[in-house]
Amino acid sequence: MQVSLFTNLLRTEFLNSMQVVAKPAEYERYTTTVPTTTRNTPFGWMTPAPGINKYEGHRRLATLDSINYSIDAIEFDGSFQVPLIDIEDDNVGGYRRRMRDLVMKAGQPFKSRWVMTTVKNGESTPCFDGSNFFATTHNVGGWGSTPAQFVSGTSGANLMNFTAAASSDGTNHVMVWFIHEDEIMLKPMVYVSRQEPQFRTDAGDSLSSYTKTVKYWLDLRAGFGVGYWWDAILVKIAGTPTIPEMQLIIDGMRQVARGFYLPKALSSDPTEYVHEQRSFGPSNTSLLSSSGLEWILTHVLNEERIGISSNTFTNNIYRGFSHLIVSNILNP
């Protein structure tokens, strides 16, 4: 087979694979995709607007803080090479499948992995207000008191610590609870799409002929960032929790979320709680966990009745509390 014919076959395979519509990926539940045409996308508009209050005969003009937050588009690639002799001998069927596999990996698996990695690094990733996304203190917005079940002195804002009774087992676990509504400006995680995968090759180049190999690759550019900190809670767990302890953790996250409030444009503004009167459920929340918590959370979030002690069962009020997503990337 001629190199040009083989290259056209791969290009066709690339285009066909790009048009395949995959079912929605888990990361899309809690991630906003933002198309961009620049290498750096600014998010200065993330400063919350002033609250709406009773008019008392004069305008209460507030100055919006200048937010210096942006997401850089990073270059990514995937590539492979084909021996020229394989093309000439028409031994190329497997390489067409490799191109298909490469395009598929550049889609949802690539985005999901990098979004989850950004979640994993949330304690050291600055958010729009200059503080880290998961932190015990933030520069914009506020929070209530920390529930008693979380470790005093190391918990606060949207970063919680919990010590299980079985902490001596030497295990550590991580949970992240995301609150995401379709109608809000941003979900907790952000994917910036600068350049979707593009097909590239050195076929026909004299160097390719000299080395007796033809190279094919995909180039793409994307960025990953975070939204509003008050839509996310990280819980770090020392030891493997029991089912009652997991219920304590979930109830604590609920209490913490209820206490988040927006920044005030003026000191006289009333407190506006972010999640005021919101009903939490699997349609608008996602609970991400490291793999060691999978079976405990599967029970707590799905069973109608659960055991709380030996031969003692009770109705499970946390059934359907959130949608569960398990990832090895979150493992401590």
**Is residue 307 in some structural domain?**
yes
Across-strand partners of 132?
Answer: 126
| Full domain range(s) for residue 139 | 132-187+228-330
Residue 115 phi, psi dihedral angles, 5° rounding = -65, -45
**Is residue 313 in some structural domain?**
yes
Q: Which of 71, 259, 247, 268 is nearest to 156 (CA)?
A: 259
pTM: 0.88
Report the amino acid identity of residue 90: D
Average pLDDT, the chain: 87
Pick the range with the lowest mean pLDDT from 85-99, 112-126, 204-218, 259-273. Answer: 85-99
**Is residue 300 in some structural domain?**
yes
- The beta-carbon contacts of 6-10 under 8 Å, at least 24 apart in sequence, are 6/82, 6/87, 6/92, 6/95, 6/203, 6/214, 7/201, 7/203, 7/204, 7/214, 7/216, 9/92, 9/96, 10/95, 10/96, 10/99, 10/199, 10/201, 10/216
Mean pLDDT of 162-186: 88
**Is residue 293 in some structural domain?**
yes
Cα(232)–Cα(119) distance, rounded to whole angstroms? 10
Considering only residues 218 and 49, tell me which one the structure prediction assigns the higher pLDDT. 218
**For residue range 146-168, what is the model confidence (pLDDT) as tens digits?**
999 999 999 999 999 999 998 78
**Is residue 110 in some structural domain?**
no
Query: Which residue has tokens 């048009």?
Result: 19
Position 11 scores a pLDDT of 80
Position 218 scores a pLDDT of 87
Is it the case that residue 326 has pLDDT exceeding 60?
yes
Phi-psi region of 17 (alpha: psi -120 to 50; beta: other; left: phi over 0): alpha
**Is residue 30 in some structural domain?**
no
Position 215 scores a pLDDT of 87
| pLDDT bucket at 2, cuts 50 / 70 / 90 | confident
Is it the case that residue 22 has pLDDT exceeding 90?
no
Position 65 scores a pLDDT of 59
Position 61 scores a pLDDT of 61
Mean pLDDT of 307-321: 81
Position 62 scores a pLDDT of 59
- Specify the number of domains making up the chain: 1
**Is residue 275 in some structural domain?**
yes
**Is residue 143 in some structural domain?**
yes
Mean pLDDT of 168-184: 88
Is it the case that residue 48 has pLDDT exceeding 90?
no
Task: Please give the angle made by the CA atoms of 217, 219 and 220, to the nearest 5 degrees.
Answer: 150
Cα(92)–Cα(83) distance, rounded to whole angstroms? 10
Do the strands 232-238 and 312-315 form a parallel or antiparallel pair, or are they unpaired?
unpaired
Is it the case that residue 64 has pLDDT exceeding 60?
no
Q: Which residues, in sequence order, are CB contacts of 149 under 8 Å at separation 6+? A: 162, 248, 249, 251, 252
Percentage of the chain lying above the pLDDT 90 cut: 51
